[in-house]
Amino acid sequence: MQIEIERIAFGGAGIAKKDGKVFFVRGGLPKDVLEINIIKDKGNYAEAVIAEIIKPSPDRIETPCPVFDLCGGCQLQNLNYPAQLREKEYILKETLGRLGGLYDVAIEPIVPSPKEFGFRNKVTLSTWFYKGKWHVGYNQKGSNRKVAIDSCPISTDIVDKTIKRISEVLTSLGDPYYPLEKIHISSNGFKSQITLVPRHSRRGDLLKTLLKHLRRHQETENVSINGSGETGFEFSILGNKFLTTPSIFTQVNSEINELMIKTVLDWAELTQEQTVLDLYSGIGNFSIPLARGASEVLAVEISNNSVKLARKSAQANSVNNLVFQNAASEHAIEVLNKDEEKFDLIVLDPPREGAKEIIEGLVELSPTKVIYVSCDPATLARDLKKFSELGYKVVKVRPFDMFPQTFHIESIALLCK
């Protein structure tokens, strides 16, 4: 069957329509004319793969990654960068309209990543033993099967060198009995920090042997075992120091993260008399910078390890008007409402599932402004619709390209009473 791709869907597949049916084509790009093979027929839509490129999109390019066609890490390396940004803007606008009814909301142009490649400061590699040697890599596209790598072009140069060294060391050892499941790598721009994650607690002696082999090399000398005193490190953004470890969630694109923090601070327009509630606060990514302009900030985070690091970071920055609470956001909001607490500003950065369960309770706290940081257009649309129904106006939305070469979109929305 021959089709022409119209747009990119969230998820990275190309969208085509023919005879009243929608086709999602893996690897298809806008204006590609393709011969396709259907792999899943769902009635009114179907999933397909490319059998032949009859006429390539004018935006189609060669990819720098030799395993792009297999690897699930990137979906859009074959699409030039301006076209990636165009498609992401369209996805966000279409999703906010279709799912949120927000057809007239002001959506600003997407903020591009300063780096199209070499931006990722944090990766998690799967590890496995196959055909007499160890491999590191990622999941294949649409599968739990693995694809081996010894380099990753979207990683920072430091992280990429670390990946190469780990691959070399593991390959040279050849012992199939290392109880190794995955490896976390993080970089602060100067060095890498590595955490080995065991598959089980048996044969810990072998993992310690691997530790010694890795520590012989400059690229992999900062390595520890998860659950056995994982080593932390420090990085700085906008003059603020943050402590973290490779297994703790942090934003992977440092330059875009800095631009997002600046946006939150600009839109907050805080005065020294105002109070702030920061939900899903992590290691204090937003709450520490916000505390410098506010009367008091309460930061709520469910991860105990993140809270411990955030408290140390606040202390390192001499921030004394910031309280971290180790709790689920829904529980914290329930208690705050019982105590009849009020906040001038609420910032929330929920996981991909969004904040559906807490919106009504959040509104009871009567914030004048809400700043919603999102990593999923669909749940953002759903949640902004709910805020609108409860009396808040969506003033504007600014998308950010945190993850070039992928379908992912970060956005920040400003809501006011």
Number of other CB atoms surrounding residue 325 within 10 Å: 17
Does 375 qualify as catalytic in the annotation? yes
Task: Please say whether the beta carbons of 383 and 346 come within 8 A.
Answer: no
Query: Which DSSP state fits 120?
Result: B
Closest CA to 298 of 344, 359, 243: 344
Parallel/antiparallel/unpaired status of strands 7-8 and 21-26: unpaired
d(CA 365, CA 408): 31
- Measured in whole angstroms, the distance separating CA 407 from the mean position of its chain's CA atoms is 11
CA gap 100, 94 in Å, rounded? 10
What is the DSSP track for 23-90?
EEEET--TT-EEEEEEEEE-SSEEEEEEEEEEE--TTB---S-TTTTTBSS-S-TTB-HHHHHHHHHH
User: Looking at the DSSP assignment, which residues form a beta bridge with residue 33?
Assistant: 4, 55
- DSSP strand pairing (33-41 vs 2-4): antiparallel
Question: Residues 65, 71, 152, 375: which is the catalytic one?
Answer: 375
Distance CA 140, CA 356 (A): 31
Can you tell me the distance from the alpha carbon of 45 to that of 48, in angstroms, rounded to the nearest whole number? 10
Residues labelled as active-site residues: 375
